[in-house]
Chains A and B, each alone.
Chain A
Amino acid sequence: MNPINKYILLLFSFLFFAGNVQCQNIAIDSLQNELSRHVLKDTTRVNLLNALAFSYFSKDMAKTLEYLEEADAIAEVLQFKKGEARSIYIRGITEAIQANYDQALGYYNEALQLYENIDFKKGIANCYNAMGITHKNKGELRKSVSYYKKAIRIEDEIGSNNLSASLLNLGTSYEVLGDFDKAISYLKKALSIAKADENEQRVAYSLNNLGNVYQGQGNYPLALEHYNKSLYINEKLGDSLGIANNLLSMGAIYKIQEYYDKAMRCYEKSLEIYKRIDSKNGISLILNGIGTIHEEKGDYSSALDNYVDALSISKQIGAKSSIPYILNNIGEVYLALKDYRTANHYFTESKKNGLEIESKQALCGAYIGLARTYTNQKEYNSALSNALKAKKISKKHGFLDYQKEASEILSKIYKATGNYKDALESHQQFKILNDSLFNKENVEKITQLEYEYKYKQALYSASIRELKLTKTVIATNKNLEQSQKNLLLGVIAFLMLALVLGVIIFFLKLRNEKSKTQNIVIEQKLLRSQMTPHFIFNSLSVLQGMILNKEDKKSVSYLSKFSKLLRITLENSRDKTVLLSQELMAIENYLTLQNLENESYQYTVLVDDAIDRSLVKIPPMLIQPFVENAIEHAFVNQKENRKIDIHLNYLNKELICTITDNGIGIDSQKENKKPNKKSLSTTITSERLKILSKDFNMKGSIIIEDRKKHNEQGTVVTLVIPYKIQVA
């Protein structure tokens, strides 16, 4: 059977840079929002910038550097040591990612010193952890273990949430050192702490690295199961680096399982990601992996090209841990090309590197390579010693793969040297190992695992779809609510509008009513003033007569009385109510005027003591017309003994005015008159009283009687006058 080339670089075991949990949990978006709001150049902004820089280092290096620059500048101005140290620390990480390990270590040391100065334990632990990672990447595994242990001690002491990261890293280092038991123990510890902390990213990485260990142990199904679990979480988190690492590891397993196309697809995807995030180490590992596939397919020149590229990158970045594996792979190619010298050279080089970095797996690979080379060169002693070394190491560390390889080559060597018993034994061992590594059950399990992964993925995308759907439903609900709200608002607006319109209509109607009332009032005023022109012009005419008659004194007196009366009348007609005293003055003036003309009326104006004429207010020009009536019509052909009495009294809260004359009486007056010519003043007054009584909410009425009823001569007019008491 063709020797399966397994000398691949299995892992990019993921190593954790201690981050700030808060920063990892808060979405980058919200951090950016926070930053855009927080423009003040203070420690908070430094922290925000550092947090953003840390969040970006696995996604966008340029942005990380951009944030760091600003953070560094502000921290320096503020003398904010902690912030400055963290900026330097993150800068170290960026260098480490680009495999500039010495620069990275320089930054870490600087940060460490700053942290030590301010005795910030967490920072110190972070620096130790980062230094451990860098040393591990440089292949200085023992150093890395000691740094990790320092970090773990501090983190355990302060109860840091980075403990799981350091444990993870330590476990990974032990894995490379071939100490799988310790590796598994630390990684499982890391996994359980990460689970307890609900730190999914670390759970994913713990799973990935455990997978790497299981792969090293040749337990491919278990390894694949862990990778799948890890990939599922990484995809959920959108962690590019994590996904790339998973794909790299899975590619390796597929390759071992001879699913080359699948393996290639994994590698290609992974390479794309590594290139994007500029991870040289990752690129190197992938190129190596792709090389192994070409090699399996017999395309040795392509394989060699890839290996050489991978080697040069690894050398350039000083990734000592990768170099022996790549060297082994190159050796294998030359071995297949039967260029045993060159193969020997590479394997020897690998052995040297492997010993230096104590990479047991690489070392096994190198020993087996050398054993094969020597076997082909028929130098069986050298071959045997190398093969036995490989077997010893692989057995000790439980590298099933290498044990199988070692057994196979041993069987060949023994066979070639005629030691058939040992050859058979070795071959039997090889068979057992090969079967256990590559049995049917495993194949089925792998297939099942694939389905599980695909199912999970489908489930996940379904849950995403469900989430989207839920969102849509919520949005629709909101829209519905909004439209309901709009409807409600519309109804409210409509009601308001209706109300406003109603109010407007009401007020218009009210105004209309008012103007109607006003019209009546105006009409009343007109009627009141219309009662006088006859009187005015007659009076003026009388005055003219007096003047022409040369009665100067009398005419002057008449004129002044007339003026007074006119003035009071005009003033009173303006007001709705006038003082009783004023109204009475007008009446007296009127009577005086009449007496100036012919000195023939005896009149009395009597007001009950109960009535205060300077407080009671009555509508103007209610009494006067009846006095005028009496003078104009009552005394026809009655030259002597003309009496007019005006009497005001207060009865049952009613103001009653009687105008009594001793003339011919109303009945006789009517006889003289035309039947259709009604008494204007009576009609007007009764109309006025109707409105006024409504207005004052008080009784108002008029009765005109002939005094014949009481066996007396003349007319009596009884007015019930609505009034108001003036409040001083």
Chain B
Amino acid sequence: MKALIVEDKAYIRKGLLNLLQLIDVDVEVIGECESVKDAVVVANACKPELVFLDINLLDGTAFDFLEQTESLTFKVIFITAYEEYALQALKTGAVDYLLKPVDIAELQIALQKVEKLPIAEQKQQIKTVKEVWNNEGTKLILSLHDSFQVIDLNELLFCETDKGYTTFYCSDGKKYMVSKTLKEFEEQLSKANFTRPHQSFMVNLKFIDKYDKSGVIHLKNGKKIPVSFRKKESFLTTFLHWNNN
């Protein structure tokens, strides 16, 4: 398997080369690149089957490179200094990544996994990752039963949690249920105009039509969300503040 290493640090590239030599695997490193610009050129020229791809490069990111080499068919193993959200969301999926410094055992597992993987499926998932990456803060990846669903937070009305499951209600009427608690999404949602007026609900401030003083939020689509007594004050503060800006 012809492989290309895209990594901005020379010693890390050397290290990875050395590691690949240490394990008994059919990988031939045909090139090393330190920038997006170089990598695109080399990839087009050498047509690698596998690319070890650092996420942060000097002149761009891994996704810039992927975009420019869309016509090429190669599998990707991401290399990153720390776990990016976009990758984390797909960890159970077809995209694998290695954390620096690279562990030899993890490298072996990743190689085995990537060998069996249908290239189309990986491409699809990488697209998802890329989308989330580029729109960090506005996109959310939901790990559904059989797929990864990207939802736009600007189109998410509210979410409701119940017995360890969280349901996401979108403006197009679709709803998705994941087996995670609301708490796991709270931080990310809070960054994007969401508020939690009730233990079981997070609401997109954008979609609030009115707040009934009896303690009920009316959404623009008519849905009613209760406001718990304890959170009434903090909700009102957030709500009024948001509307004033």
Tell me whether B41 is interfacial, beta carbon within 8 Å.
Answer: no
CB contacts (< 8 Å) of B101 on chain A: these are 537, 540-541, 543-544
The answer to whether B18 touches A548, judged by C-beta atoms less than 8 angstroms apart, is yes
Q: Which residues of A contact B19 (CB under 8 A)?
A: 548
Contact pattern, B 19-61, Cβ under 8 Å of A = 1, otherwise 0: 1000000000000000101000000000000000000101111
Q: List chain B residues, Cβ under 8 A from A676.
A: 135-137
B10 at the interface (CB under 8 A from A): yes
The listed residue (B15, B58, B135) touching A633 by CB distance below 8 A is: B58
Instruction: Indicate which residue in B15, B56, B59 contacts A548 across the interface (CB closer than 8 Å).
Output: B15
In the complex, which of the residues B18, B19, B134, B135 has the most CB atoms of chain A within 10 Å of its own CB atom?
A: B18
Residue from A543, A545, A632 in contact with B58 in the complex, judged by beta carbons closer than 8 Å: A632
Q: Is B81 an interface residue (CB 8 A)?
A: yes
Cross-chain contact of B100 among A538, A597, A633, A672 (Cβ < 8 A): A538
With a CB–CB cut-off of 8 A, which chain A residues contact B61?
Answer: 674
- B14 & A541 in contact (Cβ 8 Å cutoff): no
Residues of A with C-beta under 8 A to B9: 538, 541-542, 545, 597
Answer whether residue B102 sits at the interface, using C-beta atoms and an 8 A cutoff: yes
* B58 adjacent to A544 (CB under 8 Å): no
State A538–B11 Cα separation when bound (angstroms). 10
A546 within 8 A of B: yes
**What per-residue 1/0 map shows which CB atoms of B57-88 lie under 8 Å from chain A?**
01111000000000000000000011000000
How long is the Cα–Cα vector from A538 to B14 in the complex, in angstroms?
13
Does A22 sit at the interface, judged by CB under 8 A?
A: no
Chain A residues with CB below 8 A from B59, complex form: 636-637, 672
Question: Contacts A636-B59, A637-B35: A545 and B14 contacting too (C-beta < 8 A)?
Answer: yes
The answer to whether B11 and A597 touch across the interface, beta carbons within 8 angstroms, is yes
B39 to chain A, nearest CB (A): 12
CB of A549 within 8 Å of the partner chain: yes
A33 at the interface (CB under 8 A from B): no
Contact B10 A636, beta carbon cutoff 8 Å: no
What does the 1/0 interface line of A573-616 toward B look like (CB < 8 Å)? 00000000000000000000000011000000000000000000
Please indicate the chain A residues that have their CB under 8 angstroms from the CB of B56 in the complex: 534
Evaluate contact between B12 and A549: CB separation under 8 angstroms. Answer: no
| Cross-interface CB contact of B102 among A544, A633, A677, cutoff 8 Å | A544
The distance in angstroms between the C-alpha atoms of A38 and B10, with both chains bound, is: 108
User: B150 near A: Cβ within 8 Å?
Assistant: no
Q: How far is the CB of A521 from chain B (nearest CB, A)?
A: 21
Q: Tell me the bound Cα distance from A547 to B100 in angstroms.
A: 14
Q: Is B13 interfacial (CB-CB < 8 Å)?
A: yes
Q: Mark A533-568, 1 if CB is under 8 A from B, else 0.
A: 111111011111111110000000000000000000
Per-position 1/0 for A625-649, Cβ under 8 A of B: 0000000110111000000000000
Which residue of the partner chain A has the closest CB to B99?
Answer: A537
Is there an interface contact between A541 and B15, defined as CB atoms closer than 8 Å? yes
Closest Cβ of chain A to B17, distance in Å, is 8
> Nearest-CB distance from B184 to chain A (Å)?
20
**CB closest chain-A residue, reference B38:** A637
Across the interface, B15 reaches (CB within 8 A) one of A544, A598, A637, namely: A544
Contact assessment for B18 and A534 in the assembled complex, using a CB-CB cutoff below 8 Å: no
Name which residue of chain B comes closest to A638, CB basis.
Answer: B58
- The reply to whether B102 and A636 form a contact with Cβ atoms under 8 Å apart is no
A538 to B15, CA, bound (A): 12
Our pick among B14, B15, B16, B134 for the contact of A674 (Cβ within 8 Å) is B134
Which chain B residue has the least Cβ–Cβ distance from A597?
B11
CB pair B18 A545 closer than 8 Å? yes
Asked if A541 and B102 sit within 8 Å, CB to CB, the answer is yes
- Sorting the interface of chain B by its residue count into under 10, 10 to 19, 20 to 34 or 35 or more gives 20 to 34
* B18 proximity list for chain A (CB < 8 A): 545, 548-549
Nearest CB of B to A214, in Å: 102
A533 to chain B: closest residue by CB: B82
State A565–B136 Cα separation when bound (angstroms). Answer: 32
Q: How far is the CB of A423 from chain B (nearest CB, A)?
A: 129
The one of A537, A598, A677 that contacts B10, using a Cβ cutoff of 8 Å: A598
Which residue on chain A has the smallest CB distance to residue B138? Answer: A676
Residues in chain B near residue A547, CB distance under 8 A: 15
Closest to A536 in B: B81
Within the complex, the shortest CB–CB distance from B189 to chain A, in Å, comes to: 18
Q: Which residues of A contact B15 (CB under 8 A)?
A: 541-542, 544-549
Q: Which residue in B16, B58, B82 is a CB contact (below 8 Å) of A537?
A: B82
Q: Report B155 CB to chain A, min CB distance, Å.
A: 18
Q: Give the distance in Å from the alpha carbon of A593 to the alpha carbon of B226 in the complex.
A: 57
The residues of A that contact B137 with a CB separation of less than 8 Å are 676
Distance from A178 Cβ to chain B, minimum over Cβ atoms (Å): 112
Chain B CB within 10 A, most for which of A541, A547, A549: A541
Which residues of chain A in 214-271 are interfacial with respect to chain B, using CB atoms and an 8 Å cutoff?
none
Q: Which residues of B contact A674 (CB under 8 A)?
A: 61, 134
Instruction: Write out the residue numbers on chain B whose beta carbons fall within 8 Å of the beta carbon of A541.
Output: 9, 11-12, 15, 81, 100-102
Interface centre among B10, B16, B100, B137 (most CB of A within 10 A): B100
Q: How far is the CA of A636 from the CA of B11 in the complex (A)?
A: 17
Which residues of chain A are near B81, meaning CB under 8 Å? 533-538, 541
Task: Find out whether the CB atom of A546 lies under 8 angstroms from the CB atom of B11.
Answer: yes
Cα–Cα, bound, A547→B82 (Å): 21
CB–CB B12/A636 < 8 A: no
State the CA gap A500–B6 with chains docked (Å): 68
Q: Which residue of the partner chain A has the closest CB to B64?
A: A672
> In the complex, what distance in Å separates the CA atom of A637 from the CA atom of B11?
17
Instruction: Determine the residue in chain A with the shortest Cβ distance to B22.
Output: A548
Q: Which residues of B contact A540 (CB under 8 A)?
A: 100-101
Give the contacts of A408-425 with B (CB-CB under 8 A). none
Query: B58 and A636: CB pair below 8 A?
Result: yes
Question: How far, in angstroms, from A164 to B101 measured CA to CA in the complex?
Answer: 127
Residue of B nearest to A537 (CB): B81
Give residues 654-686 of A contacting B (CB, 8 Å): 672, 674, 676-677
Whole-angstrom CA separation of A236 from B228 in the bound complex: 84
Contacts of B99 in A (CB 8 A): 537
* Bound-complex Cα distance A541 to B107 (A): 14
B13 contact from A533, A534, A535, A545, Cβ within 8 A? A545
Which 9 A-B pairs give the minimum distances between C-beta atoms?
A545-B15, A545-B11, A548-B18, A541-B100, A544-B101, A537-B81, A541-B101, A542-B11, A636-B59
Binding site for A on B (CB under 8 A): 9-16, 18-19, 35, 37, 56, 58-61, 81-82, 99-102, 134-137
30 contacts between A and B (CB under 8 A): A533-B82, A537-B82, A537-B100, A537-B101, A538-B9, A538-B12, A541-B11, A541-B102, A542-B11, A544-B15, A544-B102, A545-B10, A545-B16, A546-B14, A547-B15, A548-B14, A548-B15, A548-B18, A549-B14, A549-B15, A597-B10, A597-B11, A598-B10, A632-B58, A633-B58, A635-B58, A636-B59, A637-B58, A676-B135, A676-B137
- Can you add 10 more A-B contacts, CB < 8 Å, to A548-B14, A676-B136? A533-B82, A534-B82, A537-B99, A540-B100, A541-B11, A545-B14, A548-B18, A549-B18, A636-B58, A637-B59
